[in-house]
Amino acid sequence: MQSTTTATLLPQTVEPRNPGTALDLDWVMRATANRSAIERRAATLPGRRSVKKDHQAAWLARAISMIDLTTLAGDDTEGRVRRLCAKARQPVRADLLETLGLTGLTTGAVCVYHDMVAPAVSCLEGSGIPVAAVSTGFPAGLSPFHLRLAEIGESVEAGAQEIDIVISRRHVLTGNWQALYDEMRAFRQACGEAHVKAILATGELGTLQNVARASLVCMMAGADFIKTSTGKEGVNATLPVSLVMIRAIRDFHEATGFRVGYKPAGGISKAKDALTYLALIKEELGDDWLSPHLFRFGASSLLGDIERQLEHHVTGAYSASWRHAMA
């Protein structure tokens, strides 16, 4: 077991950042989405790809390393964030890690509101785990533009290494691709050295074609990641939407040579769902994307279910969910 699991956690090469390109409206307008074909392809994934026993444990350990452990509640406190950061440092019980032969396993990041950036940075000092801050008027993105830019700057100054911004959905719904590009470009510049994840809020974009076009525009404007959702919409990450966004990433890489990351967020709470998403990434983008540098889950409850599955793998029995508290 040890060799299988440890192999999944080897250090990954850090990708050069996507600098962005000029807005290519011809390319954007050529982007389409065949909904029926996309849904048929997505429907085959959960039942067709299956890993068992040691291989499943190895894939689940890798999934943990790609989780943005998140708390975005109105009643967040510094104490809750400290507990979440402790969980990010050691996401699985020590006895299970020892049996699995795992060392150095952490989550991909901790994601919080701006007010919680400083305590999160303090708690994670020396761990190598980045703090991600949601920004730009999250989740609606309707605050004044200068305030959205200022919010990015303050989170970066507080120590956030990643910024999850929300786009203005109206630009997509009205087909104003130049406005979306200019907005995203300004957000990218305001982030400086911090990596930027563009949240498309796909459940509010109307069509898969809009998702494809918005994905391309955000990548042209320099997004390091494109992300499905805030987690606050009625519909969050889905396999059809993910397929559209992943294929846009593949097209962008083929055209420019730059790899852009992908982050599904909202509604992914079961270990079996994580395995399905990893299979989708492997099949559509390849092994290069199976790294925290290029793939993240926006989730918290997902970690608890994965830990339960790993305990079952080790002991043969499922434990109660309260034994794997998040914060």
**197 counts as catalytic:** no
Catalytic: which of 68, 197, 263, 305? 263
Task: Order the strands of the 195-199 sheet from edge to edge.
Answer: 261-263, 225-227, 195-199, 162-166, 131-134, 109-112, 67-70, 297-299
Cβ atoms within 10 Å of 54's Cβ, excluding its own:
15
Catalytic: which of 68, 164, 224, 273? 164
Record the tokens describing residue 275, joined without a space.
């395995």
Catalytic: which of 68, 227, 273, 305? 227
Q: Give how far Cα 150 sits from Cα of 16, 144, 316, Å.
A: 26, 10, 51
**E strand residue ranges, the chain:** 67-70, 109-112, 131-134, 162-166, 195-199, 225-227, 261-263, 297-299
- CA separation for the pair 68, 298 (Å, rounded): 5
| 55 neighbors 97 (Cβ within 8 angstroms) | no
Contacts of 72 (CB under 8 A, 6+ apart): 111, 112, 113, 134, 138, 231
> Tokens 């990548």 appear where?
219
**227 counts as catalytic:** yes
Would you call 298 exposed, middle or buried from its count of C-beta atoms within 10 A (0-12, 13-18, 19+)?
A: buried
As a dihedral over the C-alpha atoms of residue 226, residue 228, residue 231, residue 234, rounded to 10 degrees, the angle is: 150
- 201: closest CA among 171, 232, 180, 175? 232
End-to-end CA, the chain: 29
Catalytic residue ranges: 164, 227, 263
